[in-house]
Amino acid sequence: MPKPIITSQFNGPQQTLTITPPDGGVRLRGRVQIPGDKSISHRSLMLGALAEGTTTIEGLLLGEDPRSTAACFRAMGAEISKLNTEQVTVQGIGLGNLQEPTGVLNAGNSGTTLRLMLGILASHQNRYFTVTGDDSLRSRPMGRVINPLKEMGAEIWGREGNTLAPLAVQGRSLNPMTYRSPIASAQVKSCLLLAGLMTEGETKVIEPALSRDHSERMLQAFGATVKVDPDEISAAVMGPAKLTGQRVIVPGDISSAAFWLVAGAIAPDSDLVVENVGINPTRTGVLEVLRDMGADLTLENERDAAGEPVADIRVRTSQLQGCEISGAVIPRSIDEIPILAVAAACAKGKTVIRDAAELRVKESDRLAVMASELSGMGASITEHPDGLEVVGGSLLQGSSTDSYTDHRIAMSLAIAALVAKGPTEIHRAEAAAISYPNFVPTLETLCR
Ligand code: SPQ
């Protein structure tokens, strides 16, 4: 079977990836190992730094975002081994013992780093911190964590009425509270639970729908007292807590697996097994949606890896049908909506995505960008304030596209390019390294 021609051109750090599929289309086959889960990687570095004793992490994501987390916590005194193998050791310094950094903490492109870290910094008494990020992160809303932290007594200053980075934080002793979050957000929930670790009493977050629960699981594993109430959709932590270093095994990231699951479903004559995928139920919305669309997915070898469920997922080419994606499945598939929009463009009939306005405040405005870039490739796609409507089934055309420096957009467009007619250019494709440094070489090996 002929392979696609994949070329890269660099202009300084910026990469333009050009993908030209052969006339008969691309076929994807084989077994693929995906990088470690980004959410779990961040949390293992942070809890490892706050714990007493040594934490060993296996399978850490070696992407740009966890590197930002590691750099911030190193600057505050945690000893974290070099991130050049997936085996990483963190020498924790104990809760409350972070040192005041002499420079500005830089979270880079990572919303998780900045928002979770704010809960930790705000509750570190008598220390002063300044934090920032890249152009994208400095435009993302921080009020969603700063406002409830202030209700707990935190002192935080920033641009635009204390809602945008750069931010300054004067750490102090906080008061516990019960916070009813208006959005289902694991970053809001985790920020407040982390602030609750050093706060006397119970700090509780109630959500409108359940977001990913990696923080709750890992805090418990590190020795914190965590109460989860599935009926109320709440999670609470009792402070002051004591965390003890652990062995963490990071499963493969289902958000990275999603690119191959969609590719295997839409590319002709494909049969792929994606190995060691984390299938925590708060993350498996993408599997439900793809099954709803008629994708041929099979879970094999289901097992548990240090408190997180894991499986190998087999996908074979299927004729996808349009479907509705809305409600409680949205927080469980939030990062997969861009690649699901590609699946929708290849499905028969209409796909309606609703209740997904949160996508507008990610690394890019993912609704606007997917609408513009897929329209440019000939897809019939309408943007709504909280979603997209995609009428699928017509052949995509190769075109000049842009990632808007968003890793999930770069990789979604690369998968769309595989089933398009003619070459597709993806500008600023280097963004993929945020969560998937080996994405392009892996793509090359799977096309056979
Ligand atoms: O860390 P960042 O930049 O916010 O990353 C994203 C992503 O696509 O990788 C979102 F842009 O993932 C978030 C996710 O959308 C990671 C995350 C977490 O680890 O807690 C939770 C989700 O965000 P939110 O705002 O819904 O809590």
* Selection from 190, 145, 164, 169 nearest residue 42 by Cα: 190
Nearest CA to ligand 1 atom 2: 111
User: How far, CA to CA in Å, does 270 sit from each of 31, 166, 342?
Assistant: 12, 46, 17
Domain edges within the chain: 5-35+251-446, 38-249
The per-residue pLDDT of the chain, averaged, comes to 97
The reported pTM is 0.98
Query: Catalytic positions, please?
Result: 335
38-249: same fold as 5-35+251-446?
yes
CB distance 187 to ligand 1 below 6 Å: yes
**Assigned CATH for 38-249:** 3.65.10.10
Encode the chain (448 residues) as per-residue pLDDT tens digits: 789 999 999 999 999 999 999 988 899 999 999 999 999 999 999 999 999 999 999 999 999 999 999 999 999 999 999 999 989 999 999 999 999 999 999 999 999 999 999 999 999 999 999 999 999 999 999 999 999 999 999 999 999 999 999 999 999 999 999 999 999 999 999 999 999 999 999 999 999 999 999 999 999 999 999 999 999 999 999 999 999 999 999 999 999 999 999 999 999 999 999 999 999 999 999 999 999 999 999 999 999 988 899 999 999 999 999 999 999 999 999 999 999 999 999 999 999 999 999 999 999 999 999 999 999 999 999 999 999 999 998 999 999 999 999 999 999 999 999 999 999 999 999 999 999 999 999 999 999 8
Instruction: Supply the pLDDT for residue 442.
Output: 98
Task: Give the residue ranges of DSSP H helices in 363-403.
Answer: 366-376
Cβ distance 167 to 142 under 8 Å? yes
* Topology (CATH level 3) of domain 5-35+251-446: UDP-n-acetylglucosamine1-carboxyvinyl-transferase; Chain (3.65.10)
> Rounded CA gap, 298 and 314, in Å?
5
Ligand 1 pocket test, pick from 112, 191, 211, 282 with the greatest ligand atom count within 8 Å of Cβ, gives 112
**The 234-239 sheet, strands edge to edge:** 178-180, 201-206, 234-239, 225-229
CB of 362 shorter than 6 A to ligand 1: yes
